[in-house]
Structure 1
Amino acid sequence: MVSIVLEWLFPFPCVAMFTTLLMLIGGLLGYLYGPYWGLRKVPGPPTLPLVGHLPLLAKYGPDVFSLLAKQYGPIYRFHMGRQPLILVADPELCKEVGIKKFKDIPNRSIPSPISASPLHQKGLFFTRDSRWSTMRNTILSVYQPSHLASLVPTMQSFIESATQNLDTPNEDIIFSNLSLRLATDVIGEAAFGVNFGLSKPHSVCESIKSVSVNNVRNDDDEVSDFINQHIYSTTQLKMDLSGSFSIILGLLAPILQEPFRQILKRIPGTMDSKIESTNEKLSGPLDEIVKRRMEDKNRTSKNFLSLILNARESKKVSENVFSPDYISAVTYEHLLAGSATTAFTLSSIVYLVAGHREVEKKLLQEIDGFGPPDRIPTAQDLHDSFPYLDQVS
């Protein structure tokens, strides 16, 4: 009798459906809030399901990060969709995290724009486990102060080339384009040992996207094509809701990003298809540059690519770690990360200083007081003789 009553009150199909529903809800909540749980004690604004803090980014733009830093302190949480990020808004803490503690932060989470680009996943920043350690230890010498100091003359030559005749054009100069040209040239020389020639005076006022073979000092067609694809690829790595559909989906539901990317990249006209085409065109010139440098037996170790190849051939590192595709990716990573961030920093500084005339005046006084215009500063001069410039930057 009791069993009959229980079966009448709680029919088995209903119990099974209710249990399944609870498991689905629990799994969904675990998927959405699993990454958050380990960082729940880090301060940050309340999050919305799926979109996280993206509405705040859409409302305030980049200013949202300074606003949140004032409210929550120099270390706070910001959710790009489901994925929480720890943002550090203090210069000294940034040095601590980015330099001193860098070796202690392997296996980083991969943002959705990077997930949409297999090329970028093979760079140093997103490789994992023992491969990451080996790659990091191999390229560490590139960041020694002595090597960086040796690049000052290279930077000076590109700066002089880029800033010639800036007062002669009749039309306005887009400084963000100029700074991206300059940064790409400097890092292209340091990373690949290739002079892309974007800083030549006659190309200052041209759009970056219109770089032709005639504007590139290297005569190889693949270098010109590489520059065009690099610039397009840089502009498409968007951590907001203006990216491709698969990137947006990766912010909201990362598990669905790769299946949708595989489908959409095969549909002509979609943003995913364009990004896939760009990656393929980008990989070709990269592989050609690496192949040509591998065949060059007289190369030096002054640029990043040659340093890796020399270490690989001397058996200091396994060829399996630095396979050609990883060599291409980690070298390109330096060009991508360095040029985009440097250009953005330079443009932001010029924009902010232009709005504060007293800062501009004091800055120019310090620069003019260094010496005659033709005096080239050394790395030590940059460290010791420009305290106010250091504060501004």
Structure 2
Amino acid sequence: KDSASATLVPTCRNRNVEHARQWPSVSSTHQQCASSRTQAPSWDRRAMAEAGEWLPYVSTLAPCLLGFALYFYAPYWGVRGVPGPPALPIVGHLPLLALHGPDVFGALAKKYGPIFRFHLGRQPLVIVADPELCKEVGVRQFKSVPNRSLPSPIAGSDLHQKGLFFTRDERWSAMRNTIISLYQPSHLAGLIPTMQRCIERAADTIQLNGNVDIDFSDLALKLATDVIGQAAFGVDFALSAPREHGGREAEEFMAEHVHSTTSLKMDLSASLSIVLGLVAPALQGPARGLLRRLPGTADRRIARTNDRLRARVEEIVASRERDLDKRRGQRDFLSALLNARDSGGDKMRELLTPEYVGALTYEHLLAGSATTSFTLSSAVYLVS
């Protein structure tokens, strides 16, 4: 028995050794699993470290993208129910306006109806293309629509911002109620003799030129400016008179007025600050302040022209304020405003400051001269 047990132990040991030799992969697999368990925490720590490096960038970029989307698409949300063509990101419908010009509004009215939306960059506009609906909005329901959006070309000019069209809330309502009496038929009928004198003078100018061709569009603009200058400011610019009758000061005023009007563009051909105002209004103010200091830029030329124009309007208003006796008997818009302010007490004086009086008066010249001259030119062209 002792000898048998002595031989049994080595035999078992030999079998274990042979078993280990026959299955070497089992032990190596256990070793790899053990080593992988020890290496797993190091991989996790490395992945977490890499994710931690990117986390600040992701957490910064995500709010920026969200804010960018909200900034550009928040105005659209308020007019999403108004029909209109699909708008491109950032630029809106500016490519349509650049491609087709003002004719695009007539085409969109035929396709989408008399009320449609049009996006000037980020800013959506609700276009009313029916005369009766325009009367409903502007006359019958005017208290329901007291405010209008401020286009980027107007944002850089205080003279344009303080007119009736872009004032807001209670000031707009009070200013409208003040000037509405000036549009009564009895008041307008009193301006007919002034219109007649300007028309006769323009006809004399045509006769003096003999057989020389005349640019009727230019003559119509001068005639309309003379009429509205008399009706609004009580000033005779004499632009449609023969050359020797027109003053140099009136010609300079006219040139500044035309330059200021033509600079009110709302497309991609405008100045850089206006284009930025169309796509990113928050950048317009800083860009305009920088560009108006750089020589040769369009923003600098526009700013200088608007400053000179505002100074001329303020000079006319100040002169009419001093001449109290003369303006009592005049029927022009400026004299009527100043008379209403003098008889209205302190509240009316706070409402109709010299800046707002000048802006209201100039707004009539701006709104009436171009549209009237274009209508006259088109009528003569169609008749001829």
Q: TM-score range by the shorter chain?
A: 0.7 to 0.9
Match of 2:66 in 1: 26
Confirm whether residue 117 of structure 1 aligns to residue 168 of structure 2: no
**Counterpart position of 2:83:** 43
- What are structure 1's unaligned runs of at least 5 residues? 204-213, 355-359, 361-393
- Tell me, in whole angstroms, the C-alpha distance in 2 between the residues paired with 1:5 and 1:349: 82
Instruction: State the AA in 2 paired with 1:195.
Output: D
Return the match for 1:177 from 218, 221, 236: 218
Q: Which residue of 2 aligns with 1:266?
A: 293
> 2:167 & 2:99 partners in 1: Cα distance?
34
Q: Deviations over 1:15-56 (max 9, x none)?
A: 443233221112111111111111111111111112111111
Alignment of 1:318-333 (within 5 A): 318-333=348-363
Q: What is aligned with 1:252?
A: 279
Task: Tell me the alpha carbon deviations over residues 40-73 of structure 1, each in whole angstroms, 9 at most, x when there is no partner.
Answer: 1111111111211111111112211111111111
| Counterpart in the other structure of 1:198 | 239
Q: Structure 2 vs 1, CA of residues 42 and 7 (structure 1 numbering), >3 Å: closer, same or farther?
A: same
Question: Percent identity at matched positions?
Answer: 57
Find the residue that maps to 1:77 and give its secondary structure.
strand
Q: 1:308 aligns with which of 337, 340, 344?
A: 337
Instruction: Give the letter aligned to residue 339 of structure 1.
Output: S
* Residue 6 (structure 1) shift: 12
Corresponding residue for 1:334?
364
1:381 alignment partner in structure 2: none
**TM-score normalised to structure 1 length:** 0.79
Instruction: Provide the secondary structure at the position in 1 that maps to 2:213.
Output: coil
For residues 275 and 161 of structure 1, do their structure 2 counterparts lie closer, same or farther at Cα, with a shift above 3 Å needed? same
Partner of 1:155: 195
Q: CA deviation at 1:256?
A: 0.7
| One-letter amino acid of the structure 2 residue matched with residue 255 of structure 1 | A
Pairwise CA RMSD = 2.4
1:48-67 equivalences under 5 Å are: 48-67=88-107
CA distance in 2, matches of 1:107, 1:134: 13
Q: 1:130 to 1:272 in 2, by over 3 A?
A: same
| Alpha carbons of structure 1 residues 284 and 54: separation in structure 2 relative to 1, 3 Å | same
Aligned to 1:382: none
Sort the Cα spacing of 1:183 and 1:101 in 2 relative to 1 into closer, same or farther, 3 A: farther
**1:113 Cα offset (Å):** 0.9
| Structure-2 change in CA distance of 1:13 and 1:34 (3 Å) | same
Deviation at 1:244, TM superposition (A): 1.2
Out of 319, 331, 334, which is 1:292 matched to? 319
**AA aligned opposite 2:311:** G
The Cα of 1:109 is off from its aligned counterpart by: 1.0
1:83-98 equivalence runs, <5 A: 83-98=123-138
Residue in 2 aligned with 1:366? none
Partner in structure 1 of residue 252 of structure 2: 225
Greater mean alpha carbon deviation, residues 153-162 or residues 331-340: 153-162
Q: Aligned equivalents of 1:275 and 1:307: distance in 2?
A: 31
Could you say which residue in structure 2 is the equivalent of 1:369? none
Bigger mean CA deviation after superposition, 159-168 or 186-195: 159-168
Q: State how far apart, in whole Å, the 1-side matches of 2:94 and 2:216 are.
A: 28
Q: CA deviation at 1:169?
A: 4.5
How many angstroms apart in 1 are the aligned matches of 2:166 and 2:147? 7
Q: Which amino acid letter does the alignment assign opposite residue 327 of structure 1?
A: V
> 1-side partners of 2:261 and 2:206: how far apart?
26
| 1:19–1:103 distance in 2 versus 1, CA, 3 Å | same
1:171 is displaced (CA, Å) by 4.3
Is 1:72 aligned to 2:112, yes or no?
Answer: yes
Shift of 1:246: 0.8
1:349 to 1:26, Cα distance in 2 relative to 1, 3 A: farther
Q: State the match for 1:278 in structure 2.
A: 305
Task: Give structure 2 stretches of 5+ with no counterpart.
Answer: 1-40
Instruction: Give the structure-2-normalised TM-score.
Output: 0.81
User: Does structure 1 residue 243 correspond to structure 2 residue 238?
Assistant: no
Deviation readout 1:173-219 (Å, 9 max, x if unpaired): 3232222111111111111111111122x35xxxxxxxxxx543xx6
Asked if the contact 2:92–2:121 (Cα under 8 Å) also holds between the matched residues in 1, the reply is yes
